[in-house]
Structure 1
């Protein structure tokens, strides 16, 4: 998979230009600094994005990534289904509950590539951000660079381990699980990341109903997923991520301590 991504990015610019766009509604998107107009700082990276589930792109339109994408996406989908079952049981729900909520209806593949730069200490592949999805399965290259923000406010490295994947919990799963804690912040100071992002269908989404009660009211309001994603696109995921706009008015709600 990593070699397939590298082959795509190392093609001639004339070949890749056909796919260059900032229209995120297209099934295949290739651009540089995709959040250039919303991020607080520019990120030194190119990005290739495509949907792999529900309505995947025509393989012949994916150039050299076609076969690689298709082979990689199938086992990752199976892994995602298993993870959703485990997470459902961890939340005290039926194993199929999260899948029943269409958590795995859409699958997107996102490949970041950081071209060489003469002063790498002045660049960042991805500034601090959260994920606007349910679940992300992340494949790092051998150079690494992934960092996660700890509870103490310090960034710590997540070095690549051969043969392993990194799983990130996204904003939407945090909403569904009624998690009251801080969002999971990450950033990348390395060269290349490939990820599979499990996203929901286009409908209202909010806290899972089963755990709710008078003693445990919803921490987040129901919101159309399309509205949330539009807010994410316009606002970005920096210092004030769009998950915050999904919270109810605190003045009218007593928020209890909740553990899952």
Structure 2
């Protein structure tokens, strides 16, 4: 069995490098007109982390918490209510959706269009941003863990670091430069508000988490999932926990997003126009 095992990993590594060397990502494969997905993308379910699921979960009666943040800066009773909702959401879920969060829906839609616009550029026009150098402030690639992941996801990602020290605007792709800068400013402001609410939910000074430096950085990941010729054999995003303090997920990208609740069953996240999904992440727990 050992020779077969070694041969499998050798072949896989060769395919991975061949894909990486094109600097065109998964979108390049899709554009080439392939009718069969390469072996590196084929699901190997025995290698995936599969938590216990429950067929008895009634999706119509359970969902991640939805929190209306409207009025929290002016109405103390509303703020107290939201703090309590945040506390319960953090304790019971680790995920929640927010509305009236201060980021206009037009900004969210322009951000989605900007990321999509970049990924749908001609391959040659994108190659200058293709990199695996994580010290860069703006780059794109396919699968950050391409060479170490158990399964290769059918997706490409545009990564941009905009705080605490952002890139020179000229480093950003022109197709989404303006909206990235606007969106990042608004997400930083929302992050500050969320960290204050979480601090209050913990019974701490509202500035506690910010004073620890939790709100200083911002890195964004603009995922893109090209059409797949064999979607039943591939996977867009593997089961995972998130290592960021909190992740803002755009609703347009939520097809198939699920949250593992109480280590028992997966709960579908129902998209709500203009809402954002907040994922607390592993590091917040570690920091506390």
TM bucket normalised to smaller: 0.5 to 0.7
Deviation, structure 1 residue 58: 1.4
* Residue among 154, 157, 175 paired with 1:44: 154
Matched, 1:135 2:213: no
Q: After superposition, give the CA deviation of every residue in 1:115-139 in whole Å (9 maximum; x if it has no partner).
A: 1111112222110111112111111
TM-score w.r.t. length of structure 1: 0.65
Q: After superposition, give the CA deviation of every residue in 1:164-192 in whole Å (9 maximum; x if it has no partner).
A: 00000111101123xxxxxxxxxxxxxxx
* Residue among 139, 149, 167 paired with 2:260: 149
Select the structure that is richer in strand.
Answer: 1
* Residue among 12, 15, 18 paired with 2:128: 18
Partner of 2:187: 76
**How far apart, CA to CA, are the structure 2 residues paired with 1:14 and 1:25?**
23
- SS state at 1:120 partner: coil
**How far apart, CA to CA, are the structure 2 residues paired with 1:146 and 1:104?**
25
Deviation, structure 1 residue 38: 2.2
Q: How does 1:25-36 map to 2 (within 5 A)?
A: 25-36=135-146
- SS state at 2:164 partner: coil
**How far apart, CA to CA, are the structure 1 residues paired with 2:206 and 2:248?**
20
Bigger RCO (CA 8 Å, 6+ sep) = 2
* Residue among 198, 204, 226 paired with 1:115: 226
**How far apart, CA to CA, are the structure 2 residues paired with 1:24 and 1:150?**
32
CA RMSD of aligned residues (A): 1.3
- SS state at 1:4 partner: helix
Matched, 1:124 2:252: no
Partner of 1:53: 163
Gap runs ≥5 in structure 1: 178-260
Deviation, structure 1 residue 143: 6.0
Runs of 4+ aligned structure 1 residues displaced above 3 Å come to: none
Matched, 1:100 2:208: no
Partner of 1:176: 287
* Structure with max Cα Rg: 2
Select the structure that is richer in helix.
Answer: 2
CA contact (8 A) 2:247 2:278 kept: yes
Q: After superposition, give the CA deviation of every residue in 1:151-173 in whole Å (9 maximum; x if it has no partner).
A: 25322211221110000011110
- SS state at 2:135 partner: coil
Q: Aligned in 2, Cα 1:90/1:39: closer, same or farther, shift over 3 Å?
A: same
Partner of 1:8: 118
Gap runs ≥5 in structure 2: 1-110
